[in-house]
Copies of this chain bind each other. A is one copy, B any other.
Amino acid sequence: VADTQLIGLDWGTTQLRAYRFAGGEVAESRELPAGILSVACDGAAGFERAYDDACGDWWRAAPSSPVIACGMIGSAQGWREAAYVDVPTGVDALGRALTEVQTQRGAILRIIPGVIARGPLPEVMRGEETQVAGALASPGPSGADAWIGLPGTHSKWVRVRDDRIIQFHTFMTGEIFAALRGHTILGRTMRPAAPDLAAFDRGVDVARSPLARAGVLSTIFSTRTLGLTGALPAEAQADYLSGLLIGHEVAALDALITERSAADTGRDAAHRAPIALVGSAELCERYRRALHAFGHPPPTIAAGATARGLWRVARSAGLVSEGAP
């Protein structure tokens, strides 16, 4: 592993992923259950240990390689707080604003800042800015106005233009789904089962129908009443609820896209910006189906966006000089 050019860490709340780059590509990667929630209780020592577990051996074999990290490791609860960069922003601005941590074993860890959009409803991201940087280097959504969707516990929808983040919106869809299933009456009648994408589509269809005018606080109750009336099996209820929630999210996104398109380009409301998705294959498939139901063209799936983004920010900061991985 003496050929290491860069070590990149995607250090989030629950997971720590490490990438070793060589020859301009990801040569090796690891995943540890060492997110900041599980290591922060030991203070700096916890971060040092997790860091060493993740990539200490790689760095000692190639001690000239820079180490860069993105994610919640730069939050107030992380190793060192990395101040947010304001929108609009791009890869260059991220690369100029790295926060350095001198580790005990010698390496300097450089933390990529998060991004903030100030205003009456502030928006923040940490980690997703790096995934967006990677997605923007993928074929697909570059150029004029496009949207990058990052589904997950908190979905982010990021409006990009000319390789820059213009604005973004967070939807707590994934976390709300888990809270509804685990801690409300809706979960009590659900029975675990294999994914039921027909039930998912049924939920999406409700969210894009006139019935959705009652809002998501109301439509979700149908998960229970359709069960009570024998119209939705217990095994299908979780996926139906998933479709309802993601459908309401896409409906709101649609309103935002239409508004922005009308404001920026003067085109009619039917204008559809290109969309790219970054996330797990299973979640991306759900969002692809929902976007299709709402009449969007098929989204691009940007694979490997995190690693590509870590590389791009490191390159813009002058830490590496080779081509893109």
Interface residues of A (CB under 8 A from B): 116, 118, 120-124, 154, 169-173, 175-176, 178-180, 182-186, 206, 209, 211, 213-222, 225-226, 228-229, 231, 245, 248-249, 251-252, 255-256, 259
Does the CB pair A184–B173 fall under 8 Å?
no
Note all chain B residues with C-beta closer than 8 A to A231: 122
Kindly state the separation between the CA atoms of A23 and B219 in the bound complex, as whole angstroms: 44
Residue of B nearest to A221 (CB): B170
State the main secondary structure of chain A at its contact with B.
helix
Beyond A121-B206, A217-B216, A228-B124, whether A179 also contacts B184 by CB under 8 A is yes
Q: Kindly report which residue of chain B lies nearest to residue A249, judged by CB atoms.
A: B217
Bound Cα distance A120, B179 (Å) = 25
How distant is the Cα of A206 from the Cα of B218 in the complex, in angstroms? Answer: 19
Q: Which of B173, B213, B217, B219 contacts A173 (CB 8 A)?
A: B217
Tell me whether A169 and B120 are in contact (CB under 8 A). Answer: no
Q: Copy number of this protein in the oligomer?
A: 2
- Within 8 Å CB of A184, what residues of B? 172, 175-176, 179
Which residues of chain B come closer than 8 Å to A256, judged between CB atoms?
213-214
Rounded to whole angstroms, the CA-CA distance of A226 and B121 in the bound complex is 7
Out of B171, B175, B222, B248, which one reaches A121, CB within 8 Å? B222
Asked whether, in the complex, the Cβ of B172 is within 8 Å of the Cβ of A176, the reply is no
Contact B252 A169 (CB under 8 A): no
Within the complex, what minimum Cβ distance (angstroms) separates A114 from chain B? 10
A259: chain B residues at CB < 8 Å are 213
The answer to whether B185 touches A225, judged by C-beta atoms less than 8 angstroms apart, is no
Q: How far is the CA of A91 from the CA of B225 in the complex (A)?
A: 23
Show 26 A/B contacts (Cβ-Cβ < 8 Å), sorted by A. A118-B229, A121-B206, A121-B222, A121-B226, A122-B228, A122-B231, A123-B221, A124-B228, A170-B225, A171-B217, A172-B217, A175-B185, A176-B179, A176-B180, A178-B183, A179-B180, A213-B255, A213-B256, A214-B255, A214-B256, A215-B248, A215-B255, A216-B217, A217-B245, A217-B248, A218-B252
